[in-house]
Structure 1
Amino acid sequence: MTVVAGGAAAARPRLIRAINEQVLLDHIRRSGPVSRSELATLTGLSKPTVSAALSSIERAGLVHATGQRTGSPGPAAILYEVRPEAGFVLGLDVGREYLRGGIADLAGTVRSRLSVRTKAGDAMARVQELADLATKLQGEAGIQASQLVQTVIGSPGVYDPRLDTLTLTGRLSGWDSPAVLTALRASFGATLMIENDVDAAALAERVHGHGRGVDSFAFVSVGTGIGMGLVLDGKLRHGSHGVAGEIAYLPFTEGSGSDARDARKRGSFDASASAAAVVRAARRAGLRGASSAEKVFAAAARGDAVAAAVVAEEALLVAKAVCSVIAVVDPDLIVLGGGIGQAPGFLEAVVGQLRRLAPVLPDVKASVLGTETVVAGCIAAGLDQAWEQLVGQISPT
Structure 2
Amino acid sequence: MTVVAGGAAAARPRLIRAINEQVLLDHIRRSGPLSRTELANLSGLSKPTVSAALGSIERAGLVHATGQRTGSPGPAAILYEVRPEAGFVLGLDVGREFLRGAVTDLAGTVRSRLSVHTKAGDAMARVQELADLARTLLAEAGISSAQLIQTVIGSPGVYDPGLDTLTLTGRIGWDSPAVLAALRQEFGATLMIENDVDAAALAERVHGHGRGVESFAFVSVGTGIGMGLVLDGKLRHGSHGVAGEIGYLPFAEGSGSDARDARKRGSFDASASAAAVVRAGRRAGLRGASTAEKVFAAAARGDSVAAAVVAEEALLVAKAVCTVITVVDPDLIVLGGGIGQAPGFLEAVVDQLRRLAPVLPEVEVSVLGVDTVVAGCLAAGLDQAWQHLAGHRMTS
TM-score by length of 2: 0.99
Equivalent residue letter for 1:94:
V
Which residue of structure 1 lines up, in the alignment, with residue 141 of structure 2?
141
The answer on whether the counterparts of 2:237 and 2:243 sit within 8 Å (CA) in structure 1 is yes
TM alignment of 1:147-158, pairs within 5 A = 147-158=147-158
Mapped partners of 1:44, 1:327: distance in 2: 40
CA contact (8 A) 1:152 1:381 kept: yes
CA gap of 1:395–1:61, structure 2 versus 1, over 3 A, is farther
Shift of 1:288: 0.8
RMSD of equivalent CA atoms? 1.0
Indicate the SS of the match to 2:150: strand
Distance 1:6 1:181 in 2: 44
Q: Which residue number in structure 2 is paired with residue 283 of structure 1?
A: 282
Q: Which residue of 2 aligns with 1:350?
A: 349
* Equivalent residue pairs, number: 396
CA deviation profile, 1:274-331 (whole Å, cap 9, x unmatched): 0000000000000011111011001100111000000000000000000000000000
Q: Report % sequence identity.
A: 88
* Distance of 2:227 and 2:391 partners within structure 1: 32
1:68-79 matches, within 5 Å, as 68-79=68-79
> For residue 19 of structure 1, what is the aligned residue in structure 2?
19
Retained in 2: the 8 A contact 1:60–1:394? no
Deviation of residue 4 (structure 1)?
2.0
- What do residues 223-280 of structure 1 show as CA deviations (whole Å, max 9, x unaligned)? 0000000000000000111110000010000111111111111001000000000000
Residue of structure 2 equivalent to 1:96: 96
For residues 324 and 331 of structure 2, the distance between their equivalents in structure 1, rounded to whole angstroms, comes to 11
For 2:208, the aligned partner's letter is G
1:56/1:394 contact within 8 Å kept: no
Q: Distance in 1 between matches of 2:183 and 2:10?
A: 40
Shift of 1:184: 0.5
Q: Which residue of 2 aligns with 1:321?
A: 320
When residues 107 and 80 of structure 1 are mapped into structure 2, their CA distance, relative to the original with a 3 A threshold, is: same
Mapped partners of 2:7, 2:222: distance in 1: 56
The code of the aligned residue for 2:260 comes to: R
Q: Deviations over 1:102-125 (max 9, x none)?
A: 011100011111101100000000
1:366 matched to which residue of 2?
Answer: 365
CA distance, structure 2, for counterparts of residue 4 and residue 194 of structure 1: 39
Where do 5+ consecutive residues of structure 1 fail to align?
Answer: none
Report the Cα distance in structure 1 between the residues aligned to 2:90 and 2:71, rounded to whole angstroms.
40
Equivalence map 1:145-294=2 (5 Å): 145-173=145-173, 175-294=174-293
Q: Which moved more, 1:136-145 or 1:362-371?
A: 136-145
For residues 304 and 76 of structure 1, the distance between their equivalents in structure 2, rounded to whole angstroms, comes to: 67
Q: How big is the shift at 1:3?
A: 2.1
1-structure distance, mates of 2:41, 2:210: 27
Q: Describe the SS at the equivalent of 2:305.
A: helix
Q: Which amino acid aligns with 1:143?
A: I
CA distance in 2, matches of 1:53, 1:176: 46
Cα distance in 1 for partners of 2:251, 2:321 equals 13
- Measured in 1, the distance between the counterparts of 2:11 and 2:248 equals 48
| Structure 1 SS opposite 2:189 | coil
Q: Normalized against structure 1, the TM-score is what?
A: 0.98
